[in-house]
């Protein structure tokens, strides 16, 4: 038989791993849809803890819920972690010593361990139909009793009878036999002492009728076989932990430590959900949130820096990580704060880094080709840098710089009304003089400083304040009343483009087409 041997080997590996003190932590998302922001949040802290201790960070896919399973999701989770820069050391597609890392590829292992519990009298086969369970539940609710399995199959049949029904091919589940008395307690790394009365806990199904394990069985077996030393997960799993601890006891295994982190919340304080917040990591990527800003934001949601810093790197989180710095109350997901933080990170990027991040957005908007020539790329980079100070997301760049790529942009109504139709008396002469000054100069001489000098000279000659020339010039160059530094913008546009835009705008002041 192949599997008992495999299971034994895994056990042996695990036992040797448990004797050294190396930290091994994991995230265990279920591939049921787009990669979830909660996975990134929990993943970040697992990564930080592992790296703080020089340990390993694993990814395991818990795909035992076949109804909710989505194939594309499995790869997307790993891709999202890579995008964020919190790469697992072991996992699906990566490999590692304790794989496979996908639960549906480990079914024989769970069956083996479920059987082991039955043999030891810690679990039993149950044949109750859905209908019977529903009736039982209704009766318990009506009697205001705690809703839990009434142990019909355990109390009304002998072990041998149950075995016979299994041999006869009847569908069954395997349930764990929870202790009737006492309490299960642990010292949580985030919330200290936690305790649950055993009598209140249901005889949890471990193996389902379809042969798949439930979350509880697979989770415990895998955490053990994979040598997990700390389980760092969201608070929503806290009520599962006593069942898990009892399973560790039944198997005779040393349990890992547990840390239950505060759950992310919608603005109305309910658990974060699609309906109220953006939960898909794809949304953040497509919106132009930088991964390092998202990580910083997620870190701040659950945790606080010992010096109360708001902006810090992943490396700093790794270095300063301790469980004491978690807050207990559910952090609310504040998108405005994320946008602010993203702006801080955008401003800190070097031009090449910034452009590399923005280029896909410009391509999507049709401003830059799929494989741009070096010149096209250099121009686009300069355009992007012009707007670096103001934007808060990468997606904002395309709209802001579109006019730089399109000499026949549309003028804003407000700009036309104020400066072009009717044009104040000095505007047309100012444009003509600009053209006259610019035309004889070679491209290299036309720096931002030069454009400024020309503009001021002309304003003086016309006897108007500099603003009276600067504002309409901005409209001539961009169609807008606001925007990035005008003279830098002109330098980036280049001589021919600047001349074209003045001429086009002069036509507009004469009633020509906008």
Question: Segment near ligand GLU (CB under 6 A), from 26-34, 168-176, 398-406, 468-476?
Answer: 26-34
Residue 204 near residue 241 (C-beta atoms within 8 A): no
Nearer CB in complex with ligand GLU: 81/438: 81
Q: CB of residue 236 vs ligand GLU: minimum separation in angstroms?
A: 8
Q: Is 70 a catalytic residue?
A: no
Is residue 62 within the footprint of ligand GLU (CB under 6 A)?
yes
- What single string gives the DSSP state of each residue in 105-164? G-HHHHHHHHHHHHHTTSEEEE---HHHHHHHHHHHHHTT-------HHHHSS-HHHHHH
Output the smallest distance, CB 216 to ligand GLU, in A.
9
Determine the Cα–Cα distance for residues 486 and 469; give it in Å rounded to an integer: 11
Q: Over 189-213, what HEC string results? A: CCCEEEEEEHHHCCCCEEECCCCCE
Total count of residues recorded for the chain? 514
Q: How far is the CB of 63 from ligand GLU (least distance, A)?
A: 9
Near ligand GLU in 155-174, by CB under 6 A:
none
Residues 30-49 that bind ligand GLU (CB under 6 A): 30
Estimate to the nearest angstrom the gap between the alpha carbon of 248 and the chain centroid: 32
Phi, psi of 149, deg, nearest 5: -60, 135
Which is catalytic among the residues 274, 309, 417, 482?
274
CB of 73 to ligand GLU, least distance (A): 11
Q: Which is nearer to ligand GLU, 244 or 474 (CB)?
A: 244
Question: Nearest approach, Cβ of 221 to ligand GLU (angstroms)?
Answer: 12
Strands ordered across the beta sheet of 173-176 = 123-126, 173-176, 205-207
> Pick from 125, 233, 339, 501: which binds ligand GLU (CB under 6 A)?
233
For residues 62 and 387, which CB has a smaller minimum distance to ligand GLU in the complex?
A: 62
Q: Give the residue, chosen from 10, 17, 28, 114, that forms a contact with ligand GLU under the rule CB under 6 A.
A: 28
Angle, nearest 10°, between helix axes 291-302 and 71-84?
Answer: 90
Q: Establish if 287 lies at the interface with ligand GLU (CB under 6 A).
A: no
Choosing from 69, 186, 237, 248, the residue that interacts with ligand GLU (CB under 6 A) is: 237
- Residues 248, 186: contact at Cβ < 8 Å? no
Asked whether the beta carbons of 35 and 281 are under 8 A apart, the reply is yes
Q: Should residue 29 be labelled a site residue for ligand GLU when binding is judged by CB under 6 A? A: yes
Among 46, 73, 214, 219, contact with ligand GLU (rule: CB under 6 A): 219
DSSP string, 473-506: HHHHHHSSSS-S-HHHHHHHH-HHHHHHHHHHHH
Shortest gap between Cβ of 281 and ligand GLU (angstroms)? 15
Looking at the annotation, which residues are catalytic?
274
The residues that touch ligand GLU, with contacts defined as CB under 6 A, are 28-30, 62, 215, 219, 233, 237
């Amino acid at each position: 038989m192949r599997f008992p041997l495999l299971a034994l080997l895994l056990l042996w590996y695990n036992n040797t791993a448990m004797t050294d003190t190396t930290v091994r932590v994991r995230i265990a998302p279920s591939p049921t849809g787009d990669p979830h922001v909660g996975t990134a949040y929990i993943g970040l802290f697992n990564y930080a803890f592992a790296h703080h201790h020089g340990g390993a960070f694993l990814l395991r896919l818990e795909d035992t819920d076949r109804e909710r399973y989505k194939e594309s999701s499995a790869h997307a989770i790993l891709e999202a972690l890579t995008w964020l820069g919190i790469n697992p050391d072991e996992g699906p597609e990566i490999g590692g010593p304790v794989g496979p890392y996908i639960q549906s590829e480990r079914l024989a292992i769970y069956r083996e361990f479920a059987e082991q519990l039955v043999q030891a009298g810690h679990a039993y086969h149950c044949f109750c139909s859905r209908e019977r369970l529903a009736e039982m539940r209704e009766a318990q609710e009506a009697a205001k009793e705690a809703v839990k399995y009434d142990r019909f199959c355990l109390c009304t049949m002998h072990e041998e009878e149950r075995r016979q029904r299994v041999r006869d091919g009847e569908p069954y589940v395997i349930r764990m036999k929870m202790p009737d008395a006492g309490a299960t307690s642990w010292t949580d790394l985030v919330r200290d002492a936690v305790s649950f009365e055993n009598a209140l806990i249901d005889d949890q199904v471990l193996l389902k009728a379809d042969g798949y394990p439930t979350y509880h069985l697979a989770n415990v077996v895998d955490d053990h076989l994979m040598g997990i030393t700390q389980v760092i997960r969201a608070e929503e799993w806290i009520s599962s932990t006593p069942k898990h601890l009892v399973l560790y006891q039944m198997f005779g295994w040393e349990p890992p430590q547990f840390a239950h982190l505060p759950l992310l919340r919608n603005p109305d304080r309910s658990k974060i959900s699609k309906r109220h917040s953006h939960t898909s990591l794809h949304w953040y990527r497509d919106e132009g949130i930088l991964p390092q800003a998202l990580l910083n934001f997620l870190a701040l949601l659950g945790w606080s820096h010992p010096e109360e810093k708001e902006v810090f790197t992943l490396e700093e989180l790794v270095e300063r990580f301790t469980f004491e710095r978690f807050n207990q109350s559910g952090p609310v997901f504040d998108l405005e704060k994320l946008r602010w933080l993203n702006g801080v990170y955008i401003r800190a990027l070097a031009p090449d880094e910034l452009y590399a991040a923005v280029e896909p957005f410009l391509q999507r908007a049709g401003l830059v080709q799929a494989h741009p020539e070096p010149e096209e790329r250099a121009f686009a980079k300069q355009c992007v840098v012009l707007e670096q100070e103001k934007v808060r997301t990468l997606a904002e760049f395309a709209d802001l710089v579109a006019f730089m790529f399109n000499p026949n942009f549309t003028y804003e109504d407000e700009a036309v009304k104020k400066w072009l139709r009717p044009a104040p008396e000095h505007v047309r002469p100012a444009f003509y003089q600009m053209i006259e000054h610019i035309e004889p100069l070679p491209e290299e001489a036309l720096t931002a400083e030069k454009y400024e000098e020309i503009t001021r000279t002309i304003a003086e000659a016309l006897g108007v304040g500099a603003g009276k020339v600067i504002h309409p010039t901005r409209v001539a160059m961009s169609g807008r009343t606001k925007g990035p530094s005008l003279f830098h913008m002109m330098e980036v546009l280049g001589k021919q483009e600047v001349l074209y835009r003045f001429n086009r705008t002069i036509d507009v002041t004469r009633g020509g087409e906008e």
